[in-house]
Structure 1
Amino acid sequence: MQADKGCWTCKQRKIGCDKSIPHCDNCVRTRRACAGYGIRLNWPDQLRSREKDQIVCPVVEKASTQKDPRTFGTRLLNTTHRDFRLATKRRVTWHQVMLHASVGPGASVTLYSPLLDEDGMLLVYYEQIIAPMCSTTRAANGFRCHILPMVLSSRDEPTQALCSAILAIAAHHRHGADAASSHKMKAIRGLYKALDNSSPNAQTHVATTMMLCMYTVFDENEAQFQLHLNGAKHMLMNLTSHQRRQPVFQFLMGWIVYYDTLSEFAQPHRSTLNDFDQLEYPGKLQTMPGEVIGLFGCSIEVFDNISFINQMRTMILKSERSDIERKTEQFRIVVQEKLENLAHSLSPDEVAHSTSAQIRDASATAELYRLASLLYLQRVVPAAGDEKKRFGYLEQAYAAMKEVRVATSPWPVFIFACETRLEEQRIYILDILDRMDKIRNVGNVRVMRSVIENVWIQQDLREPVDTTGTIPWWLCIESDLPVPWFA
């Protein structure tokens, strides 16, 4: 994988850069310190301010109209593409101006990180490789715009614990479990110590715990996912009203919702009605209707319906009452109508920040989630005529899968895999999983592949259930795996 532009050292030397990540081969070969690929502030002098690609506006002082050559270029306004986009609006509200003004500069690891040597390189690796992997959108990637500023803002114990959790993920993905072990243990010890000292940094604690959850997704041999997730949910619900108004709260809640919903799906017999296990999240996540959230890969409406289908499945598995079937049939009508009428869209910022291929990938992934949710609904609450609709959904799904360069979301792939009956379709699914494993290298994909193969074996050995065709996957395997293989 290469960076989009050359490193700053090669630019200063005015030579070509091979753009290798995390540092270029030119610098390594000549034993120079690679300055990296991060953003740098540019303070042009009088001569450079004449360049066409820069807009420099000196601020005139009221006290004197005389220009002091010593201060020229040190006080200026930097105009960005957002300013021009805002200026094209016929009517600008105060909220738009303040929202634009409050957006701070993006976190720059190369400028502000206090980490050196290998740890610094791992943090750059997280910024440039891991964070983009975890979101289907670029404009508002919370793993960069929320998590990185938290890491770079302080060096206290809670922040160092969060940093260690991030380094553990980056080290595991780049070097393997052995290289990540010390960072992971440091994160766990730091989190325990910070909680024991009643540290006020509750949001940092939640982020650290969720990073440890993410680590278990990368490392298929870890078995503490549910423990970390439950702890994060406890801490999130105990945040103060002031902390809940912070922008990072929306990201942390969405992250927990994402993991919690997929965890419930992976463990059908885990009750969703006990203690804190149920989060009232939909009304608190502030998004536009149908807007694709990069963390989810689709809209919150889709995950709201997946969570509701999970609850219906739990009711059916646990209840022996005859009226449950009638109630679930009514629920199905409502959920199916919502999913069939749902139209996904990308935010204007996302469209502005993305290439046509990236827009196509994000839109196709969101559509895969919608179609997979409809297939999941059919399996939980079967109805007459499902077979014909199922065939149509699968045709649309395979067309959408061909639109994406690499599948980034395991859950839809699993749903489609469980519905395949033809050998060529199964081979196509295995090819998708091979590409995911080769390019993304995340442990949960390997676990998911094993589960899919077990489901196929059981489906081949068992007879179809009446008119519903292939039997549901949760009746084929023991669902006690510690890692949710769909996150």
Structure 2
Amino acid sequence: MGPHQADQAPKQSRKRKASTTLTRPTPQHLAVPVPPRAMSNGIPPHYAYLLDHWSTTLASFITMAPTAQNPFHTCITPMIAHSPSLRSAVCSMAAHHLGILRADPSLLNSATRHQIDAVSSLRNTIGTENPLVSLAIIMILQITDRLFTTNSGVNHLKGARVVIERAGPRTWNCDVGVFLLSLCCYHDAVVSVAGRTPPILGLGDNVSYLERLEPMQGLKILWAIIGQISSMGSQEEGLLDNQGTAIEHNLRDLDIYVSHEGDAAHTFHAYKEAAYIYLHRVWHNVGSPHPATLKHARDCLRHLFQVPVSSPLVSVHPWPFWTAACETIDSKLRGLVRDRLKAMYELRHLPSLKRLEQDIEDIWKIKDEERTVTGIDRVDCVQAILAIRNRGADLV
């Protein structure tokens, strides 16, 4: 699930504003066949219904921003009227989600048709289309793949790299461009973990360390660090210790600059604790029941549980949640993990959350058996899912 433009994020406070609360669509809402607002804009009924679901519901489930600051509305939605390909991409995502909510196979078929239309149109126009629009289409397709399907066979981030490099840096020096690059940075980092491969885009490599960090700016740095950890697997052994030591030092430095108050801060610290777990798994192949790993896992989950399940920030919780949950051996914590995952799915109804739940259960079984037989745990969770599922773990 994608992030919002980090620089636009409001500061979190102890007092929670009503705008951060998301509600599940009601059956009455879903039953509206043709939204009058969309029809008044001259959009065909079928598209209008799907775009209304995007505007009223779905865009709120894939952003980190409260409704008033949601960049999917401010940056992506205005482009839809000018790009049939973007409209098809958004409609594909909306049809996927509505198909699940309504248990309607015809909507899932519609989602596939819209996706085919979006990809076909993009291929025909990518050389002449505004790069901002092209990258928006690619990232909507990327998000749809990660949330609703896993085997499309298309590596959208490779297409994103082509668009970014062709356009040049000046193109992205605007609000829409910054948001899209932030979205790319997030997906690049998480996909690198799921595949145990270096980032494709590497957009976070030059993120500077700030003397005073807001939590959301810190998240951008952590996405870059996650990508750096993923790259360690392809490094020569002589360089591995230097890289690992440098990353560990950076993680310690980050800890002193970000407060521990507010949903954004809890999300930041959860990512930081998960990054420690990931680093030491890649660097030393160390995980639970090592005391340090268990502590990082407990602390990570504690921070995640502090964030209400209705918070938009939960859209980027799957990776730290997965990383900490898989290393958890405490039965009470595992029960809380199950409850949290069920609550996340009940609110959002995203298939990736169901797959995440099953993946964690399977990893617990594998790791428990390993400890019973050998007394230690050398199970790399991501590699285990690659082996048994023939896909990466669902971390978006």
Q: Secondary structure at the match of 1:372?
A: helix
Q: Is the 8 A contact 1:371 1:393 kept in 2?
A: yes
Which residue is equivalent to 1:343? 258
- For residues 68-107 of structure 1, the C-alpha deviation after alignment (integer angstroms, 9 at most, x for no partner) is xxxxxxxxxxxxxxxxxxxxxxxxxxxxxxxxxxxxxxxx
1:244 maps to a residue whose letter is: W
TM-superposed deviation, 1:398: 3.3
Task: Select 2:273's aligned residue among 357, 368, 371.
Answer: 371
Is residue 458 from structure 1 mapped to residue 363 from structure 2 by the alignment?
A: no
Q: Secondary structure at the match of 1:223?
A: coil
Which residue is equivalent to 2:103? none
Q: Is the 8 A contact 2:287 2:378 kept in 1?
A: no
2:219 maps to a residue whose letter is: S
Task: Select 2:95's aligned residue among 142, 156, 171.
Answer: 171
Q: Is the 8 A contact 1:464 1:471 kept in 2?
A: no
TM-superposed deviation, 1:234: 1.1
Q: Which has the higher contact order (CA 8 A, sep 6+)?
A: 2
1:140-155 aligned at under 5 Å gives the runs 140-152=69-81, 154=82
Q: Is the 8 A contact 1:191 1:205 kept in 2?
A: yes
Task: Select 2:355's aligned residue among 443, 447, 451.
Answer: 447
1:52-63 aligned at under 5 Å gives the runs none
Q: 1:427 to 1:284 in 2, by over 3 A?
A: closer
TM-superposed deviation, 1:443: 2.1
Is residue 404 from structure 1 mapped to residue 307 from structure 2 by the alignment?
A: yes
Q: Is the 8 A contact 2:385 2:393 kept in 1?
A: no
TM-score scaled by structure 2?
0.77
Q: Is the 8 A contact 1:217 1:483 kept in 2?
A: no
Is residue 311 from structure 1 mapped to residue 220 from structure 2 by the alignment?
A: no
Task: Select 1:260's aligned residue among 152, 176, 188.
Answer: 188
Which residue is equivalent to 2:178? 250
Q: 1:437 to 1:23 in 2, by over 3 A?
A: closer
Using the TM superposition, name which of 401-410 and 164-173 deviates more: 401-410
- For residues 441 and 400 of structure 1, the distance between their equivalents in structure 2, rounded to whole angstroms, comes to 23
1:29-108 aligned at under 5 Å gives the runs 35=36
2:191 maps to a residue whose letter is: S
- For residues 398 and 203 of structure 1, the distance between their equivalents in structure 2, rounded to whole angstroms, comes to 37
Q: Identity of counterpart residues, as a percentage? A: 20
Task: Select 1:160's aligned residue among 66, 84, 89.
Answer: 84
Q: Mark the runs of 5 or more structure 1 residues left unpaired by the alignment.
A: 6-18, 37-108, 346-358
Q: Secondary structure at the match of 2:344?
A: helix
- For residues 348 and 327 of structure 2, the distance between their equivalents in structure 1, rounded to whole angstroms, comes to 24
Q: Secondary structure at the match of 1:343?
A: coil
Q: Is the 8 A contact 1:253 1:285 kept in 2?
A: no
- For residues 291 and 244 of structure 1, the distance between their equivalents in structure 2, rounded to whole angstroms, comes to 22
Q: 1:331 to 1:285 in 2, by over 3 A?
A: closer
Which residue is equivalent to 1:234? 162
- For residues 50 and 286 of structure 2, the distance between their equivalents in structure 1, rounded to whole angstroms, comes to 54
Which residue is equivalent to 1:90? none
- For residues 332 and 287 of structure 1, the distance between their equivalents in structure 2, rounded to whole angstroms, comes to 16
1:216 maps to a residue whose letter is: D
Is residue 395 from structure 1 mapped to residue 298 from structure 2 by the alignment?
A: yes
1:220 maps to a residue whose letter is: T
Which residue is equivalent to 2:9? none
Q: Secondary structure at the match of 2:79?
A: helix
- For residues 160 and 203 of structure 2, the distance between their equivalents in structure 1, rounded to whole angstroms, comes to 15
1:411-450 aligned at under 5 Å gives the runs 411-450=319-358
1:364 maps to a residue whose letter is: H
Which residue is equivalent to 1:485? 394
1:170-209 aligned at under 5 Å gives the runs 170-176=94-100, 177-195=108-126, 198-209=127-138
Structure of larger gyration radius: 1
Which residue is equivalent to 1:212? 141
Q: Is the 8 A contact 2:370 2:376 kept in 1?
A: no
Q: CA RMSD in A?
A: 3.6
TM-superposed deviation, 1:328: 4.1
TM-superposed deviation, 1:448: 2.1
* Corresponding pairs, count: 359
Which residue is equivalent to 2:8? none
Q: Secondary structure at the match of 1:402?
A: helix
Q: 1:193 to 1:145 in 2, by over 3 A?
A: same
Q: 1:287 to 1:466 in 2, by over 3 A?
A: farther
- For residues 385 and 204 of structure 1, the distance between their equivalents in structure 2, rounded to whole angstroms, comes to 42
Q: Is the 8 A contact 1:217 1:484 kept in 2?
A: no
TM-superposed deviation, 1:447: 2.4
Q: Is the 8 A contact 1:223 1:482 kept in 2?
A: no
Which residue is equivalent to 1:13? none
TM-superposed deviation, 1:164: 0.8
Using the TM superposition, name which of 360-369 and 414-423 deviates more: 360-369
Larger helix share, 1 or 2:
2
Q: Secondary structure at the match of 1:136?
A: coil
Q: Is the 8 A contact 1:219 1:443 kept in 2?
A: yes
